[in-house]
Amino acid sequence: MRRMPAEYEPHRGTIMIFPEREGSWPYKAKKAQRVFAGIIKEIATDEEVHVVVSPRTEGAAKALLAGTDNVFFYVIETDDAWARDTAPTFVYEGDKLKGIDWAFNAWGGEYDGLYAGWDKDNALASVLCKKLGYESIDMQSFVLEGGSIHSDGAGNLLTTECCLLSPGRNPQMTKQEIEKTLLENLGGERLIWLPEGIYNDETNGHVDNICAFTAPGEVVLAWTDDKNDPQYELSLKDLEILKSYGIKVHKLPIPDVPVCVTEDDLGGYVFEEGEDVREAGERLAASYVNFYFTDRSVILPQFGGENEESDKRAVSVMRELCPDRRIVPVMARDIIVGGGNIHCITQQIPADRILS
């Protein structure tokens, strides 16, 4: 019997990938690398951090993290830095921890994938399982990204219809077959299908940007009271579903002012052929729900500028919901320009044994 533990359960550590892809990270990823390094340092005060670098980023990563304990480096080629989606999804099988190796196709493959080549990202999970000493469960027959699922460790799983039913994932399967596959592999008792994700989320609406478990049967939901914002109707649909399942919902408001690509950002990207491109003024999928639980902390995105008040509000909400953890606000605009945020660049390794 398998069980995907909740992110807030005990960890061994966290996997991250040092960024370099210029179609995701402007200006040769220098700003993003500094923010990643700051997050790694914060996580390393609580648990191990296993950092994947390439031969090109190894020197910069080690220089930025010099003197930081609890950090381990692995030189592995990847296509990008979204560890949530390309690193293993860890589950307990009995009392043994194993890593699931899902198929990865850059969020949609030939249908609507975000870049043309993803072989290195797809190979990462099995390689990391070997290096970290875990048995790998081969699920290369099923396309799934880690950001498209959430577990409370107590029988409830979350996903979104807009993502998992996308024609770019597993079009040969019915909704019922997809649900059966997830429940069998992740060990949940029920899968809650939310209709929608965050507005303009290029992953087709990953659940980790719209809704996250904070306790068994309890979630935060990205929210806005502005009925003119396109997010309003999306979040309202999700709220109705969550309530129908008896889930306790805490509303976590989105940034007051949309976070958008600027002309300055645009000047720093270098897009490869076949890669999704950005435009100045494009609304990014900014959400405070894309936070990360470490063993003792919550690493929480902040966006600054016109969103200073909503940043503070998000800190206040999470402090109230997680009184036993330190809340670590991180200015994350240099991450969101890549398309995702703090949760998207992290993947937890649960404790090797279930703790009683």
Arithmetic mean of pLDDT, 298-315: 98
Q: What is the rounded distance in angstroms from the CA atom of residue 132 to the CA atom of residue 190?
A: 30
The helix (H) or strand (E) run that includes residue 98 is strand 96-103
- Residues serving a catalytic function are 344
What pLDDT does 1 receive? 86
Using the predicted structure, report yes or no on whether residue 189 has a pLDDT greater than 90. yes
In this structure, what token pair is assigned to residue 11? 């960890």
In this structure, what token pair is assigned to residue 235? 């979040």
What pLDDT does 52 receive? 98
The SS3 assignment for 207 reads: helix
Arithmetic mean of pLDDT, 323-351: 98
Using the predicted structure, report yes or no on whether residue 95 has a pLDDT greater than 90. no
- Residue range 30-88, pLDDT digits in tens: 999 999 999 999 999 999 999 999 999 999 999 999 999 999 999 999 999 999 999 99
Using the predicted structure, report yes or no on whether residue 354 has a pLDDT greater than 90. no
Using the predicted structure, report yes or no on whether residue 229 has a pLDDT greater than 50. yes
Domains and CATH numbers, the chain: 2-350 (3.75.10.10)
> Which of 134, 36, 45, 113 lies closest to 81 in space, CA to CA?
36
Taking the model in full, what pTM does it have?
Answer: 0.97
Mean pLDDT, the chain, rounded, equals 97
Q: What is the rounded distance in angstroms from the CA atom of residue 331 to the CA atom of residue 38?
A: 10
The helix (H) or strand (E) run that includes residue 93 is strand 89-93
Specify the DSSP class assigned to residue 203.
Answer: T
**Buried/exposed 255-288: b ≥16 CB within 10 Å, e otherwise:** beebbbbeeebbebbeeeeebbebeeeeebbbbb
Identity at 262, one-letter amino acid code:
T
Arithmetic mean of pLDDT, 264-279: 94
> Which of 2, 341, 347 lies closest to 155 in space, CA to CA?
2
Using the predicted structure, report yes or no on whether residue 356 has a pLDDT greater than 50. no
